[in-house]
Structure 1
Amino acid sequence: MTHYAIIPIIALLLYLLMFLSLIMIKKNETIYAFMEVLLAMIAWTMGSFFMRLNVFPFVNFWFYFSLVGILLFLPTLYNFIIKYLRIEKRINQQFWTLLMLGIWAINCFVPIFIEAPQLIDQGYVYDFSWTIVFLFFILLCVLIDMIYTIHKAQKKDLTIYKQLIPIFLGANILILGHLCLLCPSFKGFPIDVLSGIPMAICLFYALYKNQLFEMNLLISRVNCYYVAMIIVILIYYRIFPYIDIVMKEKYLLKPYQIAMILIFVVVLSMVVVCIILEYLLNLVFGKKEVIQSQCIQELGEFLSQLKRHQEIFEKLEDCLKKGLQVENVYLFYIQDDLYKIQNNDSDFTFQMDEILLASLYQEKSCLLVKALQKSLNYQKIEPLLRQKIEEKNIECLALLQNGDKILGLIALPHKLSKERYTKIDLNFLKSVSSVTSIAIENAILYEEAYQEARKDYLTGVANRRYLYEVLQKCQYEKRFEYGSFIMVSIDDFKLYNQLYGTAEGNLALVQIAHAIRSCLVDEEMVARYTGKVFAVILPGKGGHYAYQVAEQFSKKILLLNEQTGQNAMKALTVSCGIASGSCTKDGFEEVMQQADEALYYAKQAGKNQIKVYKKGQTPSHLTDVKGAASSYVSTIYALMAAIDAKDHYTFSHSENVAYYAQELAKAYGMDEEAVKIIYEAGLLHDIGKIGIDESIINKPGKLTDQEYETIKGHVELAVGIIRHLPSLDYVIPAVIGHHERYDGKGYPRRLKGEGIPLMARILCIADSFDAMVSKRSYKQEMDVQTALKIIDEEAGYQFDPQLAHIFIELVKNQQIEVR
């Protein structure tokens, strides 16, 4: 083994390591071109190494093997640069390749350019003639042509040029090293092969620092062991005989002892080389890519569980900060053609510039700002946007894009380390953007479906279902101790539809909903409660504020008549009922029901009114309004006369129930208007029995199941009769619910608890008490104390417990006269 053989070994191992790395990744034509460069260098260094080892078949063979590698180095490097810069195939490169192969073939038969070296004093010495100048001139021409190509590409993309600088520097060192062979000072010293080591280091730097290619965990630990074994065998190939002689003659060791020592040394050497290899691999492909790979994996796992785009943006921000080591991340979401920042309190909001968007498309949705700033297009970008980019030190931009649909934008400032963004970083950013874009698209679809399920299809405001969700959540979380409801009903809306058609009616609903919503702020909300009724919730606001809001949107609704002409919405007005209370204490159902009752008062007061529910008194601002109920007394007594003609007991029972209900309502604190309504409801609650056969009503014995079902039908019959009397429809909620039970086991709708209208709960107690203490064809009267005991026992089951206890006290204190 000659001196300096270690030099080609080092260079060869570096080239082999890079070549093995590239074998195991997904390849394209650029990577194949780079592998051709490495093959040329491997041929050159391997030939030089085997030549110095004098390996079979002979020295000249390995010299010419080495020569073809060094001659093809520049043409293959030129080919790689063309592919890397995405330049159309150039004839020059093919010409240089063929020329170099021709020179090599001629030199193999007639060594006119360079002869094989001679072994002198354990060193190989080249004897050059003047023709070597011709060979160097051709190599110089290739180099100049390559530099010219790089210079042209620099104008288009400075970033790519900078990535090629290490390779260009290494090529120059390599050529300089070969020129040094002409200097007598380096006679016998392999300066040409030595220059291959800086060249290998430059290539290594380009892979590591500039990240020419996307290289992820390319070589496994097993491959490291394999390479380490080859390296150790090559190193110890010739020195083992010398070690064996020294150990036998100087230390007088036996053969088995020598074998054990050599095995230990070889294994130890392999471990050391393997550790070094793993360290080098971590430098090239290592920790950054491992972290980025973990970030993508974690992000994918999280995204599969997230359904709201805001949560996705939060996870995306964490992923980018960890994977790219940046302090700030600006994430934008497109809304109404504006890019609005999602994860920062900054006012960084802008409209996408067409030139910037075109640049992003050209760079496959990921763009380095510095590269853009070098182009002429940068100055054409809207000045305010350029100012924002420069103020925030934005260095990288990436689109969040799913197919052709742009969903948002990622803007990244400089890294914490101040390093520039590499190709690996850009590939990581593209992967993250791709994964996130799909998740954002799915989240948008989910949120749209979520919102649609909670919106009224016609008006766009919340629907009844969502209204109850909000109220239940508010009550459960105890967010507001106090609040107000406004129930808004469109006056004579059925008549409006009959006059102007359903299309105009739908338009009126949309306009009224918009008018109400325009008067609300913060957490206030409007929902479509029924066909012509809207519910407004005002968390944390009192009755006075609610009255002002109701006045405000009522005026806006009146203005709609003027805006659409005298004939279109001439009679369109709304009546409003307002109630205030504590949802956490009273329950939102109770407060809403009070607002509903106030709405009834407004309807009775002549419509186009606002009434505020106040327990035990008529609202002060409407004390001058006479209740409409009193004007319908004649109609009520006409119906009572019809009942009396068919069944005198029912007539008397209805009068008693009306009296008991009236007194209970007064004691509960209901105002005068409500007391009148419940009295009239008591008179009419059994009006439906007009339609029941007398034989069933007056049957002395127990009713059959079929007969009982017939009797139960009197509730629907009563509602059917009252429904045809619009002037009396305000009593329907009380009449239809007077056989409901507090535990939800009543009929006809099986309502439960405070879901039963308050007036119906009052009627239920009054009706049951009179039925128990009255004599009927099928039973004797019950004494009062027993009846009161039953009411007390059924409190919370059949009867409202609060109302039941009030009624019992009224009877016991003789405030109610038992009839």
Structure 2
Amino acid sequence: MREREEVFDHFITAVINTLNADEIYDAAIEALQDILQPDGLLLMMNQNTHHVFSVIRKCGSIACTKSYSVPTDSMLQELKDSPNLIMLNDTGKHILDLLTPRQRNWLNAEHITAIYTLKYNQVIIGFLYIAAHDGQDFAPEELRYLEKICYYSSYALRNANLYQNAYRASITDDLTSLYNRKHAFECIDHVCQHQKPSTLIVLDIDDFKLYNELYGAQESDNLIHRFAQVILQEISSKDIGFRFGADEFLILKAGTDIDEACSCCKRIVDAITDATPANTVWDITITCGISVFPDISTDAASFLHNAEQAIYYGKQAGKGNIEVYRPGIDERSHDPDIRAAYERVAPTIYALTAAIDAKDSYTFIHSMNVSKYAVILAEALGMNSNDIEIIRDAGLLHDIGKISIPERILQKTSKLTDEEYAIMKTHVENSTKMIRYLPDMDYVIPAVVGHHERYDGTGYPRGLAGQNIPYMARILTIADCFDAMTAKRPYKQALSVEYAVNELEKNSGTQFDPVLVKKFVELIHEGKISIA
């Protein structure tokens, strides 16, 4: 047996040079075995769980059928107020009265003669059970070393726990409890450095920025949280989930089974869409990109890049797709200029408006007028060229959903029934759904979906009020209503500009944004807005 002081010095050297709890446990148990020479030791620790103490280390003759223990409140309070070391065959016999018969029988069967309570700042963090079949008391010097080893172990373990908590916080996303972007890079680097065949899945929520604008930050956070919970439910214990960006998640899977990766994506997408609240304006879609290492991707950089490229190609193909990266996949360019984006889809827009014109000529002319009036107002408000282009496009597209409304309702000359009006109101949702599948045109959705909202919150489809209504939608509302009043419709004659101005001013602050109404009326008086 090594000299006790030498054993203790070795223990101290070990624990002050580590923040690894397992290394501290090992050093403490080894030192106690050498110094006390017990028949058995059992260390149970509370690992940040309420009242549950788990078996951490066990040596010698002690046997236990359960891997944890849940002391009663009364026992914990008694131990908290008692000396750390309790000798059960002497001064600590009163502790036995606080135990269940099963616990007392276990102590007797395993010849437990002493319990040392590990504390930190008067908080119990663990128990050390010491077994000695002969019941012999420990020498005073042995007890001093027991006290010192347990004392230093408690502080070392607390420091290790603080470090682990801090490290865990540094690699964990606060909102979702998934690992974060920083740890994603670390894990991807690790599997590539060790040449472990792996599959990387990137899942991106389509139009999340628009979702955030339409439903607000709280509902967006709820969606992100639901997404994370679904990922945790669907992935296996060998997989790792990450929140990689505001609307982007990663899953790192062991192996290169692409079919399983695609199935995993589908399960997650189905679970998310099934849980989507019924009052959303459109169905949530998720684009998934998949890459594999080392079969196609050769290093960490290409592993992630290829998955991101697959996402890009999936979105270019219309969103809501599962795309696997393969060599030779077509390169595509992205032009962020909105005017260029509009020009790419202009033929589609005019084809849609022409189809509406064939069904209801008023809607086509109305859309042209709304676009014109809204652009004039946007220019007067000093909006930038991209925002003005959005207003122009939103005006043209805001009623394309009417292509799905029956002609008998569109062309009805009398007042609509409640049922017919309910059908007519669906044109907003239908417009939104159609726009989402026009490449590069989803930026107009907030204006389109909000053009029937009212400033007082009594509009539809969502009952938004005041500043919560997208700014461009508030512009579109005024242009839409002005043209509705001053144009001839199947069920009414055109009203005068004077009447329309009076209605705009009368409903300023209830139906319309008062600041925007004031500017719009000024433009009418200045002759910058007029009807043909």
Q: Deviations over 1:623-682 (max 9, x none)?
A: xxxx999xx9x957958xxxxxxxxxxxxxxxxxxxxxxxxxxxxxxxxxxxxxxxxxxx
Quote the residue 1:410 is aligned against. Answer: 128
CA distance in 1, matches of 2:256, 2:71: 42
Question: What is the CA distance between 1:587 and its match in structure 2?
Answer: 1.0
2:201 to 460, 464, 486: 486
Quote the residue 1:169 is aligned against. Answer: none
Instruction: Pick closer, same or farther for the CA change 1:558–1:299 going to 2, 3 Å.
Output: same
Structure with larger RCO (C-alpha < 8 A, sep 6+):
2
State whether structure 2 residue 308 is matched by structure 1 residue 596.
yes
CA contact (8 A) 1:395 1:412 kept: yes
Question: What is the CA distance between 1:393 and its match in structure 2?
Answer: 3.5
CA distance in 1, matches of 2:187, 2:82: 47
State whether structure 2 residue 250 is matched by structure 1 residue 532.
no
SS across alignment from 1:343: strand
CA contact (8 A) 2:198 2:255 kept: yes
Q: What is the identity percentage for the equivalent residue pairs of Structure 1 and Structure 2?
A: 21
Equivalent pairs counted in the alignment come to 339
Letter in 1 for 2:149: V
Question: What is the CA distance between 1:549 and its match in structure 2?
Answer: 1.7
State whether structure 2 residue 66 is matched by structure 1 residue 386.
no
Quote the residue 1:434 is aligned against. Answer: 151
Instruction: Pick closer, same or farther for the CA change 1:544–1:355 going to 2, 3 Å.
Output: same
Quote the residue 1:421 is aligned against. Answer: 138
SS across alignment from 1:597: helix
State whether structure 2 residue 66 is matched by structure 1 residue 354.
no
The structure whose Rg is larger is: 1
Quote the residue 1:343 is aligned against. Answer: 57
CA contact (8 A) 1:326 1:413 kept: yes
CA contact (8 A) 1:372 1:378 kept: no
Quote the residue 1:552 is aligned against. Answer: 267
CA contact (8 A) 1:605 1:628 kept: no
State whether structure 2 residue 214 is matched by structure 1 residue 496.
no
CA distance in 1, matches of 2:5, 2:148: 10
Instruction: Pick closer, same or farther for the CA change 1:489–1:390 going to 2, 3 Å.
Output: farther
CA contact (8 A) 2:256 2:293 kept: no
CA distance in 1, matches of 2:80, 2:243: 45
Instruction: Pick closer, same or farther for the CA change 1:361–1:404 going to 2, 3 Å.
Output: closer
CA distance in 1, matches of 2:114, 2:234: 44
Question: What is the CA distance between 1:426 and its match in structure 2?
Answer: 3.3
State whether structure 2 residue 174 is matched by structure 1 residue 457.
yes
CA contact (8 A) 1:296 1:432 kept: yes
CA contact (8 A) 2:115 2:128 kept: yes
SS across alignment from 1:501: helix
Question: What is the CA distance between 1:615 and its match in structure 2?
Answer: 3.3
Quote the residue 1:299 is aligned against. Answer: 11
Letter in 2 for 1:466: H
Letter in 1 for 2:73: E
CA distance in 2, matches of 1:391, 1:729: 76
State whether structure 2 residue 325 is matched by structure 1 residue 613.
yes
Instruction: Pick closer, same or farther for the CA change 1:291–1:558 going to 2, 3 Å.
Output: farther
Letter in 2 for 1:299: F
Q: Deviations over 1:409-455 (max 9, x none)?
A: 2122227x863334443333222111111111111111111111112
Instruction: Pick closer, same or farther for the CA change 1:383–1:575 going to 2, 3 Å.
Output: farther
State whether structure 2 residue 31 is matched by structure 1 residue 319.
yes
Q: Deviations over 1:375-410 (max 9, x none)?
A: 4x5244134433443454332211211121222221
Question: What is the CA distance between 1:546 and its match in structure 2?
Answer: 1.2
CA distance in 2, matches of 1:508, 1:364: 51
2:190 to 466, 469, 473: 473
Provide the aligned C-alpha RMSD in A: 3.5
Which shifted more, 347-356 or 446-455? Answer: 347-356
Question: What is the CA distance between 1:589 and its match in structure 2?
Answer: 2.2
Question: What is the CA distance between 1:457 and its match in structure 2?
Answer: 2.9
CA distance in 2, matches of 1:512, 1:458: 11
Which structure has greater helix proportion? 1
CA contact (8 A) 1:331 1:411 kept: yes
CA distance in 1, matches of 2:70, 2:281: 41
Instruction: Pick closer, same or farther for the CA change 1:384–1:729 going to 2, 3 Å.
Output: farther
Quote the residue 1:399 is aligned against. Answer: 117
Quote the residue 1:571 is aligned against. Answer: 283
Correspondence list, 1:708-787, <5 A: 727=439
CA contact (8 A) 1:583 1:591 kept: no
CA distance in 1, matches of 2:127, 2:116: 6
Q: Deviations over 1:239-285 (max 9, x none)?
A: xxxxxxxxxxxxxxxxxxxxxxxxxxxxxxxxxxxxxxxxxxxxxxx
Question: What is the CA distance between 1:553 and its match in structure 2?
Answer: 1.9
| Structure 1 runs, 4 residues or longer, greater than 6 Å off | none
SS across alignment from 2:6: helix
Question: What is the CA distance between 1:502 and its match in structure 2?
Answer: 1.1
SS across alignment from 1:462: coil
SS across alignment from 1:420: coil
Q: Deviations over 1:534-553 (max 9, x none)?
A: 11100224111212222222
- Return 5+ residue gaps in structure 2 as ranges: 345-437, 443-532
CA distance in 2, matches of 1:569, 1:431: 66
CA distance in 1, matches of 2:213, 2:316: 22
Question: What is the CA distance between 1:594 and its match in structure 2?
Answer: 2.0
Instruction: Pick closer, same or farther for the CA change 1:566–1:397 going to 2, 3 Å.
Output: same
CA distance in 2, matches of 1:536, 1:526: 5
CA contact (8 A) 2:289 2:314 kept: yes
Instruction: Pick closer, same or farther for the CA change 1:628–1:603 going to 2, 3 Å.
Output: farther
Instruction: Pick closer, same or farther for the CA change 1:470–1:291 going to 2, 3 Å.
Output: same
Letter in 2 for 1:343: R
CA contact (8 A) 1:407 1:440 kept: no
CA contact (8 A) 2:291 2:303 kept: yes
CA contact (8 A) 1:486 1:537 kept: yes
CA distance in 2, matches of 1:474, 1:388: 46
Instruction: Pick closer, same or farther for the CA change 1:350–1:401 going to 2, 3 Å.
Output: same
Quote the residue 1:774 is aligned against. Answer: none
Question: What is the CA distance between 1:525 and its match in structure 2?
Answer: 0.8
- Return 5+ residue gaps in structure 1 as ranges: 1-286, 619-626, 640-725, 731-819
CA distance in 1, matches of 2:236, 2:108: 37
Question: What is the CA distance between 1:353 and its match in structure 2?
Answer: 2.6
CA distance in 2, matches of 1:464, 1:410: 40
State whether structure 2 residue 221 is matched by structure 1 residue 506.
yes
CA distance in 2, matches of 1:364, 1:589: 57
Question: What is the CA distance between 1:510 and its match in structure 2?
Answer: 2.1
Instruction: Pick closer, same or farther for the CA change 1:405–1:584 going to 2, 3 Å.
Output: farther
SS across alignment from 1:425: helix
CA distance in 2, matches of 1:554, 1:499: 21
What TM-score do you get using the length of structure 2 for normalisation? 0.57
CA distance in 2, matches of 1:592, 1:322: 51
1:448 to 156, 159, 165: 165
CA distance in 1, matches of 2:163, 2:24: 13
CA contact (8 A) 2:290 2:325 kept: yes
Instruction: Pick closer, same or farther for the CA change 1:313–1:580 going to 2, 3 Å.
Output: same
What TM-score do you get using the length of structure 1 for normalisation? 0.38
